[in-house]
Amino acid sequence: AADEATDTATTVAAGTPDAAEAAADEPADADEAGSAPVVDIDGIGKTYSARLEDAGISTQGDLATMSAEEVAPAAGVSEDRAGEWIQRAQDRA
């Protein structure tokens, strides 16, 4: 598990300095659901996942803290659908 956390931190670190700092601040035993990719949420496929990632929403933890008003335009979906995704992410967190 420690190797997986290191690999994840390394992958995140390659993205942006802010992401690297956030990964460094997380404890090694952080909830894995929060760091799972958004594509694992029912209803979010590769296309929506790519749109969300372009907006800086790459993990279920990221999605769980967002509002439908923020997520909907980023993904190009209705606020109702965005709200469903957010609820699913919160349920997994």
Check residue 41 and give its pLDDT: 95
pLDDT digits (tens, 9 = 90+) for 28-72: 334 577 899 999 999 999 999 999 999 999 999 999 999 999 999
What number does CATH give the domain 32-93?
1.10.150.20
pLDDT digits (tens, 9 = 90+) for 63-93: 999 999 999 999 999 999 999 999 999 999 7
Helix residue ranges, H only, the chain:
2-15, 17-25, 32-35, 46-54, 60-64, 68-75, 79-92
pTM of the model: 0.65
Residue spans per domain, the chain: 1-30, 32-93
